[in-house]
């Protein structure tokens, strides 16, 4: 096992220093206090500003960010996520000819935060604000695959094909994590399938999931595999949004 990582230790020390200072500190002050070269201190401070743990005031001095008190809150809230996703969600709907949804995990369910209609101008209802059982849809599986939730016992059946056994779902989620996308065929609604992929924030945390859903006959072939091009299109959109959120390409 590798030893402690020095830059993490130093970052922690910078945060303690700034949190206790009671006023903004300059780069040199931070460097002096920790026995670091100015360039090293500057690099640490810039990175901490980037991740949102440190803010710079009008005089250019550094302070611990008020957001530190609220670390459990997602860095990118649903409103910002939607704002960053709109263009790519539109593009995904246009490219696949299917409806597109963006979801975040909320109280164990997949909360739809954005919805683009299937581009055929038929009558459709906006589902933004509704939530779906996470274990039974592609969006939810993507979200569960990266969330520290405990899955136990049996899960409610939405259709005859819903995965209701927690152990089976856990195994499926491992596969989702490994392949980087999720598929669902008639597990939520008869005749409907969905494909989804994770949207990542800076640092790699999953901020949400984006996916298409529609007629199973159109989305999957007779053997239940997603039709050609569907998965790459969904992943392309997910990556484009992740890039806008500042995630590094994986």
Partner 1 sequence: MTTRAATTLDGAGQRPEHRGYVVAVDQGTTSTRCILFDHAGRLVAVAQREHRPHYPRPGWVEHDAAQIWRDVARLVPRAMAQVDASPADVVAVGIANQRETVVVWDRRTGEPVGPAVVWQDTRTAAIVEEMAADGGADRFAPVCGLPLATYFAGPRMTWLLRHDESLRRRAERGDVLFGTVESWLVWKLTGGPDGGEHVTDVTNASRTMLMDLRTLDWSPELLEAFGVPRAALPRIVPSSQVYGTARAVVPGARIAAALGDQQAALFGQTCFSPGEAKCTYGTGGFLLMNTGTEVPRSSHGLLTTVAHRIGDEPPAYALEGSIAVTGALVQWLRDNLGLISTAPEVESLARTVPDNGGCYFVPAFSGLFAPHWRAEARGLLIGLTSFVTKGHVARAVLEASAWQTREVVEAVEADSGLRLSSLRVDGGMTSNNLLMQTVADVLDVPVVRPMVSETVSLGAAYAAGLAVGFWPDTTALRRRWHRAAQWSPAMAGDVRERGWQDWQEAVRRTFGWVRHEVP
Ligand X SMILES: Nc1ncnc2c1ncn2[C@@H]1O[C@H](COP(=O)(O)OP(=O)(O)O)[C@@H](O)[C@H]1O
Segment holding 240, helix H or strand E: helix 230-244
**Are 41 and 54 within 8 A, CB to CB?**
no
List CB contacts of 17: < 8 A, sequence separation 6 or more. 25, 30, 33, 34
Residue closest to ligand X (Cβ): 83
Q: Give the shortest CB-214-to-partner 1 separation in angstroms.
A: 11
State how far the Cα of 170 lies from the Cα of 85, in Å rounded to an integer.
28
Site residues, partner 1 (CB under 8 A): 77-80, 82-83, 86-88, 90-91, 93-97, 114-117, 119-121, 124, 126, 128-129, 217-218, 227-230, 232-233
| For ligand X, the closer CB: 133 or 246 | 246
Distance (Å) of CA 94 to CA 121, 172, 181, 216 = 12, 29, 20, 18
* For ligand X, the closer CB: 83 or 175: 83
Nearer to partner 1, 114 or 135 (CB): 114
Regarding 83 and contact with ligand X (CB under 6 A), the answer is yes
As a whole number of angstroms, the distance between CA 219 and CA 237 comes to 17
Binding residue count for ligand X, defined by CB under 6 A: 2
Q: For ligand X, what does the binding mask look like between residues 32 and 71, x meaning CB under 6 A?
A: ----------------------------------------
């Amino acid at each position: 096992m590798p030893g402690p990582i020095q830059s993490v230790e130093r970052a922690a020390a910078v945060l303690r220093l700034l949190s206790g200072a009671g006023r903004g500190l300059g780069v040199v002050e931070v460097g002096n206090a920790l026995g670091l070269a100015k360039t090293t201190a500057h690099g640490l401070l810039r990175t901490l500003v980037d991740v949102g743990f440190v803010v710079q005031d009008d005089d250019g001095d550094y302070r611990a960010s008020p957001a530190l008190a609220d670390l459990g809150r997602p860095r990118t809230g649903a409103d910002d996520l939607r704002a960053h996703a709109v263009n790519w969600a539109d593009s995904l709907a246009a490219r696949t000819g299917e409806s597109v949804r963006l979801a975040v995990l909320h109280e164990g369910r997949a909360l739809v935060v954005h919805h683009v209609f299937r581009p055929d101008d038929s009558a459709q209802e906006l589902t933004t604000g509704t939530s779906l059982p996470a274990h039974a849809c592609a969006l939810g599986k993507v979200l569960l695959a990266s969330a520290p939730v405990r899955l136990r016992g049996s899960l409610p059946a939405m259709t005859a094909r819903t995965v209701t056994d927690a152990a089976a779902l856990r195994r499926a989620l491992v596969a989702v994590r490994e392949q980087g996308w999720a598929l669902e065929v008639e597990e939520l609604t008869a005749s409907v399938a969905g494909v989804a992929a994770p949207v990542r924030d800076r640092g790699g945390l999953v901020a949400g999931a984006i996916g298409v859903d529609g007629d199973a006959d159109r989305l999957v072939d007779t053997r239940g595999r997603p039709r050609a091009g569907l998965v790459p299109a969904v992943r392309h959109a997910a990556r484009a949004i992740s890039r806008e959120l500042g995630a590094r390409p994986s």
